[in-house]
Amino acid sequence: MTLITLEDLLSARERVQPIIRATPVARSDSLSRLAGRPVLLKPEHQQRTGSFKIRGAYNHIAQLAPEVAVVAASAGNHAQGVALAASLTGRAATIFMPRGAALPKVAATRTYGADVRLEGEVVDDCIGLAKAFAAATGAAFVPPFDDLQVIGGQGTVGLELAEEAPDAEVVVVPVGGGGLLSGVAAALTLGNGPVRVGPGGALAGPRPRIRVVGVEAAGAPTMRRALDAGRPVTLDGVATMADGIAVATCSQLTLSHVQAYVDDVVTVDEEEISQAMLLLVERAKAVVEPAGAAALAAILAGRVPGTGPAVAVLSGGNIDPLLLTKLIEHGLSAAGRYLTLRIVMTDRVGALAALTGELARLELNVLDVEHHRSGRDLALSEVEVQVTVETRDPAHHAEVVRSLSAAGYWAEPVS
């Protein structure tokens, strides 16, 4: 299997440099305190098209013959990268997207000048349609990750990291099909020392100074399964809100790069991704999509060994505002920032006012109140109140319940 070379990566950097936006690494002190180690952020969510994908798409498309049309399949980020790259190189682009693709991603892809066709239920359907379109029309199919030119373009992120974060102990990268991870790991390894070789990934020399760890959603562990099996494996299904890394299978090309250059691939669950997204909004003022938060989620969850500086690649920020609202609400709940209580008390005049007064005394902000007299398992003289309040963290939940009990109220958390 032919792997990317340092010369390929340097050529890709020269090719994409004029059209990409600078995304310099920045340290987050607040996230560093939470992680117990220095945390640096590579903000590719601020890249043109809202993700790193423009790098690989442009590196591939710019090497095609002039005026050759392109076609691609994507749920969003690759679609936008291909659409913009085609526009910048003066060629037509057709993008097949699933019928259920996020409307903002569809609209953005069209804004970049592509002909968007909403066909197929999942991305794999769209890939088949795109390849058939290429065969019928002569358009060039632009793969999302299974291509050395695409890997080379994504690898320019790694070349930048080598310059922007030379003291990093580890770089943590989200993984879908593996194009970004392959490129970043190759760039950091080829610039720092010998590589691993052979099917088992044995070291041919000293380990590169900067380690590289990939992160997948637990509901789409494509690369992890492939590494364990020693070959690409197609998952029966994927289940994650991180649609940017919800890929059912990697390729032999990306697997070979990961076997050669990557130290480990770990997974994070939906709660960890959600909480990382919330922390990025609160502490780093960064709005990222779920896939873009996966690297930070792994660092905060302790899945990345070490105490030295860790770089989290924030791979993308293309998220539907409606989904963002839901995820923030979910993240707040998972972080213990909401507490819903069921409180049973005597049904008398002024009882509800007394309860709200007690909540005010405890300095709790009330978000919602439901008052029930019937249809519940209550005595004739009782009333139930379900109240949702803002809290600091899960430990605060127990403190609130104790305080209400001390004040004479029967209260229990509602899950």
Residue type, 225: R
Name residue 313's beta-bridge partners: 42
Query: In whole numbers, what is the pLDDT of the chain averaged over residues?
Result: 92
- For range 54-65, the mean pLDDT: 98
| Residue 194 pLDDT exceeds 50 | no
| Residue 202 pLDDT exceeds 60 | no
- The domain spanning residue 389 has which CATH number? 3.30.70.260
CA–CA distance, 145 with 247 (Å, rounded to integer)? 11
pTM of the model: 0.85
Q: In this structure, what DSSP letter does residue 202 have?
A: E
Q: Which two tokens stand for residue 260?
A: 């050669």
User: Are residues 204 and 281 both part of a single domain?
Assistant: yes
Q: In the chain, what percentage of residues exceed pLDDT 70?
A: 95
User: What pLDDT, on a 0 to 100 scale, did the predictor assign at position 207?
Assistant: 45
| Residue 205 pLDDT exceeds 60 | no
248 burial via Cβ count (<10 Å: 0-12, 13-18, 19+): middle
Q: Is 326 considered catalytic here?
A: no
118 alpha carbon, distance to own chain's centre: 24
Q: Is 315 considered catalytic here?
A: yes
167-181, 185-199, 341-355: lowest mean pLDDT where?
185-199
CA–CA distance, 385 with 379 (Å, rounded to integer)? 14
| Residue 117 pLDDT exceeds 70 | yes
Q: Which two tokens stand for residue 166?
A: 């030379």
User: What pLDDT, on a 0 to 100 scale, did the predictor assign at position 181?
Assistant: 98
User: What pLDDT, on a 0 to 100 scale, did the predictor assign at position 375?
Assistant: 61
* pLDDT band at residue 102 under the 50/70/90 scheme: confident
Closest CA to 201 of 265, 126, 150: 265
| Residue 204 pLDDT exceeds 60 | no
| Residue 111 pLDDT exceeds 70 | yes
Q: Is residue 360 part of a domain?
A: yes
User: What pLDDT, on a 0 to 100 scale, did the predictor assign at position 376?
Assistant: 65
User: Are residues 85 and 176 both part of a single domain?
Assistant: no
- For range 234-241, the mean pLDDT: 92
For helices 53-61 and 77-88, give the axis angle rounded to 10 degrees.
Answer: 40
Q: In this structure, what DSSP letter does residue 51 have?
A: B
User: Are residues 384 and 245 both part of a single domain?
Assistant: no
| Residue 206 pLDDT exceeds 70 | no
- CA 167 vs CA 38, 75, 308, 400: distances in Å: 11, 36, 9, 45
Q: Which two tokens stand for residue 250?
A: 């990697």
- The domain spanning residue 94 has which CATH number? 3.40.50.1100
User: Are residues 109 and 162 both part of a single domain?
Assistant: no
Residue 360 dihedral angles phi and psi, to the nearest 5°: -65, -40
User: What pLDDT, on a 0 to 100 scale, did the predictor assign at position 196?
Assistant: 47
User: Are residues 182 and 263 both part of a single domain?
Assistant: yes
- For range 304-333, the mean pLDDT: 89
User: Are residues 252 and 360 both part of a single domain?
Assistant: no
107-121, 134-148, 200-214, 302-316: lowest mean pLDDT where?
200-214
- CA 330 vs CA 162, 223, 292, 298, 323: distances in Å: 36, 27, 17, 18, 10
User: Are residues 220 and 313 both part of a single domain?
Assistant: yes
User: Are residues 79 and 66 both part of a single domain?
Assistant: yes
Domain end residue (candidates: 332, 360, 381): 332
Strand locations in 110-261, DSSP E?
A: 115-118, 140-141, 170-174, 196-197, 202-203, 211-217
Exposure b/e, 198-222, CB count within 10 A at least 16 = b:
eeeeeeeeeebebbbbbbbbbbbbb
Domain end residue (candidates: 274, 298, 332): 332
| Residue 406 pLDDT exceeds 70 | yes
Strand locations in 149-301, DSSP E?
A: 170-174, 196-197, 202-203, 211-217, 264-268
Report strand pairing: 310-314 vs 382-390: unpaired
* Neighbour count for residue 320 (Cβ, 10 Å): 17
Domain end residue (candidates: 88, 118, 141): 141
- Of the residues 28, 42, 53, 256, only one is catalytic, namely 53
User: Are residues 80 and 174 both part of a single domain?
Assistant: no
- Of the residues 51, 251, 256, 315, only one is catalytic, namely 315
Give the residue numbers spanning the domain of 409.
336-413
- Provide the 3-class DSSP secondary structure of residue 304: coil
| Residue 415 pLDDT exceeds 80 | no
Q: Is residue 36 part of a domain?
A: yes
User: Are residues 131 and 268 both part of a single domain?
Assistant: no
User: Are residues 322 and 350 both part of a single domain?
Assistant: no
Q: 300 and 274 in contact (C-beta within 8 Å)?
A: no
- For range 302-327, the mean pLDDT: 93
Q: In the chain, what percentage of residues exceed pLDDT 90?
A: 75
Q: How many domains, the chain?
A: 3
Q: 23 and 51 in contact (C-beta within 8 Å)?
A: no
User: Are residues 310 and 377 both part of a single domain?
Assistant: no
Q: Is residue 44 part of a domain?
A: yes
- For range 147-166, the mean pLDDT: 97
Q: Is residue 1 part of a domain?
A: no
Q: Is residue 389 part of a domain?
A: yes
Strand locations in 36-114, DSSP E?
A: 39-43, 70-73, 93-97
